Chain A
Amino acid sequence: MEIFLSIRFDGSAVSEFFFNGVILRGVRTTLEVTILAMLLGAVLGIILAVMRVSHSRPMAGFSGFYVWFMRGTPVLIQLLVVHNGIPQMVGSRDFTLFLTPFRSALITFSLNEAAYMAEIVRAGIQAIEPGQMDAAKSLGMTNLQAMRRVILPQALRVVIPPAGNEFIAMLKNTSIAFAAGLVELTNAARLIYAANLKVMELLVVASIWYLIMTTAFSVLQAEMEARLTIVERERAIPLTTRVLRALGGGRER
Chain B
Amino acid sequence: MKRWLRHSLLLVCVVLVAAFVASACGGGEEKPAAASPTPRAAGSPTASLAAGVPELADGTLQVGSDIAYAPIEFYEAGTENAMGLDIDLANAMAADLGVKVEFMNTGFDGLIGALQAKRFDIIMSSMTITEARQKEIDFIPYFTAGTGILVEAGNPKNIQTLADLCGKSVAVQLGTIQVDQLNAQNEQCAQKISITTFDQNPLAVEQLSLGRADAVTADFPVASNDARLSQGKLEVVGTQFEAAPYGIGVRNDSTELNAALKNALQDIMNSGKYDSILADWGLEAGSIK
Contact = CB atoms under 8 A, between A and B. Distances in A.
B136 A179 contact: no
A101 B196 contact: yes
Interface residues of B, number: 24
Interface stretch (B49-57, B98-106, B204-212, B234-242): B204-212
A179 B203 contact: yes
Interface stretch (B19-27, B40-48, B84-92, B171-179): B171-179
B158 to A, nearest CB: 18
Contacts of A199: 110, 113
Contacts, number: 47
A197 B113 contact: yes
Interface residues of A, number: 20
23 contacts: A84-B210, A87-B210, A87-B212, A88-B209, A97-B212, A101-B196, A178-B198, A178-B199, A179-B198, A181-B171, A181-B207, A183-B197, A187-B197, A190-B109, A193-B109, A194-B175, A194-B179, A195-B175, A196-B132, A197-B113, A197-B132, A197-B136, A199-B110
Contacts of A156: none
Interface of A: 84, 87-88, 93, 96-97, 101, 178-179, 181, 183, 187, 190-191, 193-197, 199
Contacts of A193: 109
Contacts of B135: 197
Query: Which DSSP category, helix, strand, loop or mixed, fits chain B's interface?
Result: helix
B174 A190 contact: yes
Interface of B: 109-110, 112-113, 132-133, 135-136, 171, 174-175, 179-180, 196-199, 203, 206-207, 209-212
A194 B109 contact: yes
A88 B207 CA distance: 10
B67 to A, nearest CB: 18
A183 B135 CA distance: 27
A194 B174 contact: yes
A197 B111 CA distance: 10
Given A179-B203, A190-B109, A194-B109, A93 B175 contact: no
Contacts of A187: 197
A179 B174 contact: no
